[in-house]
Amino acid sequence: MPTVSQNALFGMGNPLLDISAVVDKDFLDKYGLKPNDQILAEEKHKALFDEIVNKSKVEYHAGGSTQNSVKIAQWMIQEPHKVATFFGCIGTDHFGEILKQKAAEAHVDAHYYEQGQEPTGTCAACITGDNRSLIANLAAANCYNKEKHLDVDRNWSLVEKARVYYIAGFFLTVSPDSILKVAKHASDNNKIFGLNLSAPFISQFFKEPLMKVMPYVDIIFGNETEAATFAKEQGFETEDIAEIARRVQSLPKVNKNRQRIVVFTQGREDTVATVGDKVKVFPVLDIDQNDIVDTNGAGDAFVGGFLSELVQEKPLEECIRAGHYAANVIIRRAGCTFPEKPDFH
């Protein structure tokens, strides 16, 4: 068992507090929400946040896609603590304190950029059955400042310590320059840089920054909807997920020493991944529908499990198996939360 060093895994993204509640179709319709989606909050969603906090069984969980993933990776690894580093921006407020406390409890080495202009970001998770509609009010998360945080020597030295990097596509809306700096560092030093397509709107409306970072991406993650949207936006003219994976793999790449790996999850259907020049399918773990509490965080958990093995230099098949295990644990619980210890062998 190779021991993994502290700060070997680096993540950067939008630290959000999830405000989660079970809602009905009327609630979704009222705010024009799809049952299963991820969007950025607009003016018309302001009242939604006021309404959801007054739901009978509202729950608050530390969230943010990348932060969830690095937390899960740390949970899977257990020891040593602080294998995972996380950067993001929060406000100087109660929600920010909760995020700091939760990161510390998860043994993640979180270094937040703290500013007082904007409050800590939140994400309304509207749960209906095994669907979740996420509306992110980035607020402070949107204030991440490359010059004032990432470029500062004591922070950049943590970036340099890492071997594996992971950033959700959501952060492309905040600081594409920060992503590029980290991605280029990984590429120049033959380290591994992972990116997630994160949501259909990223491929649609943030195409330019997404394609600017793509040549540095060693591992790209996404789900079936995101893969299809990306393919459509890129003019691939195919809806076949294996073919999309092949096409994404063969997009231009700077570091030729590593062939790009493409991993697409499909909920309860098989995960599709490129293995060398082939595309293979990996069945997920069976679960009874009745055991699913909510699917919020399932994709993040998959990536977290995957990264926990990747940072220990395990083969791709093991990374995917760990991803499936972590996702299976998370969907049995509310939000992206986990039991004390994993049971993964």
**Active-site residue list:** 300
Max distance between CA atoms of the chain, in angstroms, equals: 54
* 133 SS3 class: strand
- If DSSP codes are grouped into helix, strand and coil, which group holds residue 194? strand
Using CA atoms, how far apart are residues 52 and 46, in angstroms rounded to an integer? 11
Rounded distance, CA 269 to CA 154, Å?
A: 43
228-235, Cβ contacts within 8 angstroms, sequence gap of 24 or more: 229/197, 229/200, 229/203, 229/204, 230/197, 230/203, 233/203, 233/204, 233/207, 234/203
DSSP category for residue 137: E
Structure tokens that stand for 329 in this block? 């644990």
